[in-house]
Amino acid sequence: MDERPLIGIMVSNRRSRKRILDLCQRYQHLNLKLYAFTPTDILWNKHRIIGLSLKKGKWTQSSFPFPHAVYNRCYSKKLVTIQRLEAAIGRNKCFNTINFFNKWDLYNLLIQSNLKPYVPDTFLYNEVNISELLESYKLVYMKPIYGNKGASVYRVELMDNEDIHISLHSLAPRYICRKNESIQEKLNELIGQKTYMVQKGIPMSQLNHQYFDIRVLVQKGITGEWTISTIACRVAHKQYFNTSMCEHIYDVVEVLPRLFSQEKVNDILQSLRHVSVKAAQEAEIHMGSLGELSVDFAIDKDSSLGIIELNGKPQKSIYNDIKNFKRKKLIYSRPLEYAYYLSQSDK
């Protein structure tokens, strides 16, 4: 009888099973039995799951009992499958319950916590007068409440001559709204029926005249506690503001000393760690059980931090571009450590 904990990795489609399982298998160091499956592979009435696993060096599809814990890698807003699985295997045995975050819900959660000073003023687009906001802030960002990789994020800036520049990805304006034209009409046309929010623009620090943000990867490990796995800087291409389409990615300790004194760097790093763990804890209150997320920060001209957003399914392939990256094993093994921890709890 195999006594190893059985861990299921739920992915959105069968094509992803092998790739994700291969990465997890390669870096995990515990005595676990892993298999990957999709929501449609669950045979609810038989209490079995058709899954892919690595057996004696070969990829094999077979029928498995329900796992002791589930690592959810489906990027979805739907909770039905997770809720049914938890009813079958036990409460809080699945993690990353929701990983497609609603940015507006998270904003409201964070401003009610002691992280409020780190969150830029944010409003629902259909509840504000955009001209008035631009008079106050000069620069705003418009984001879909469900969005990722900077898609459909508009940068809207009131210029000195009272023209308004609307940019997408790059700083060069895609549209210019003259001072006698209606900005609200133009934006309504651009965003259509999607629900958007408007965020006060942070005057970001730059590295060699290029925008950058700071991404903190926060994960739970073998103790079940949130820990910082890695902190990186994503540097946008020249003349671009969207850091998701980055030209370079560096370890944060390579970048900050080029901009700030060592004392300031230490302060910033300490704040990044503290705020990111707190943000993860707050997100979990609203989102249900989580095991990993990333927190993206902007750093302004006065070296103050602002939370840009939280991401429930951090893209780990970006770290492949960091030279001599030493934490690859860690970022892939930690979620499996947490799955092991969950499999042992309440035994």
Q: What is the pLDDT of residues 254-278, one digit of tens each?
A: 999 999 999 999 999 999 999 999 9
Give residue 347's pLDDT. Answer: 53
- Identity of residue 103: K
Q: What is the pLDDT of residue 133?
A: 94
- The token duo for 327 is 């934490």
Same-domain pairing of 254 and 216: yes
Residue 50 in tokens: 């058709």
CA torsion, ordered 61, 62, 66, 68, to nearest 10 deg: -60
- Which residues make Cβ contacts (< 8 Å) with residue 119, sequence separation at least 6? 107, 110, 111, 306, 307
Host domain of residue 190: 122-200
Number of domains in the chain: 3
**Residues 235 and 165 grouped into a single domain:** no
**Residue 42 included in any domain:** yes
CB 310 within 8 A of CB 295: yes
b or e along 230-240 (b: 16 or more beta carbons within 10 Å of the residue's beta carbon)? bbbbbbbbeeb
Indicate whether 57 and 192 sit together in one domain: no
Same domain for 254 and 113, yes or no, is yes
Q: Phi, psi (5° rounding) for residue 286?
A: -90, -35
CA dihedral over 156, 147, 172, 242, signed as positive or negative: positive
* Average pLDDT of the chain to the nearest whole number: 91
Of the pLDDT bands very low, low, confident and very high (cuts 50, 70, 90), residue 24 is confident
* pLDDT score at 2: 65
Measure the CA–CA gap between 202 and 92, rounded to whole angstroms.
37
Q: State the Cα–Cα distance between residues 276 and 310, nearest whole angstrom.
A: 9
Q: Are 166 and 174 in contact (CB under 8 A)?
A: yes
Task: Please give the C-alpha separations between residue 253 and each of 19, 76, 138, 233, 250, in angstroms, as whole numbers.
Answer: 31, 34, 32, 9, 8
Cβ(142)–Cβ(120) under 8 Å? no
Residues 31 and 162 in one domain: no
- Flag whether 332 is in a domain: no
Cα separation, 242 vs 168, whole angstroms: 8
Would you say 276 and 305 are in contact if contact means Cβ atoms under 8 Å apart? no
- Please tell me the predicted confidence (pLDDT) of residue 345: 78
User: What CATH number should be reported for the domain holding residue 232?
Assistant: 3.30.470.20
Do 208 and 185 belong together in one domain?
no
The tokens describing 197, both together, are 């929010």
pLDDT digits (tens, 9 = 90+) for 136-177: 999 999 999 987 766 789 999 999 999 999 999 889 999 999
Same domain? 84 vs 33: yes
Q: Do both 134 and 112 map to the same domain?
A: no
Q: Is the pLDDT of residue 323 over 90?
A: no
Domain check: are 196 and 90 in the same one? Answer: no
Asked if 186 and 170 sit in the same domain, the reply is: yes
What pLDDT is stored for residue 341 in this prediction? 95
* Inter-residue contact 338 to 219 (CB < 8 Å): yes
Q: Would the pLDDT of 343 be above 90? A: yes
The stretch 103-116 carries a mean pLDDT of 93
Backbone φ, ψ for residue 189 (5° rounding):
-65, -40
Q: Is residue 341 part of a domain?
A: no
pLDDT for position 100: 82
Q: How many CB atoms lie within 10 A of CB 320?
A: 9
Residues 171, 153 contacting (CB under 8 angstroms): no
Beta strand ranges found along the chain (DSSP E): 6-10, 33-37, 42-43, 48-55, 58-65, 69-72, 94-95, 122-124, 139-144, 154-158, 164-168, 175-177, 196-200, 206-207, 210-220, 226-236, 246-251, 292-299, 305-311
User: What are 28-81's pLDDT values in tens digits?
Assistant: 888 899 999 999 999 999 999 999 998 888 999 999 999 999 999 987 777 788
pTM of model > 0.85: yes
Same-domain check for residues 212 and 270: yes
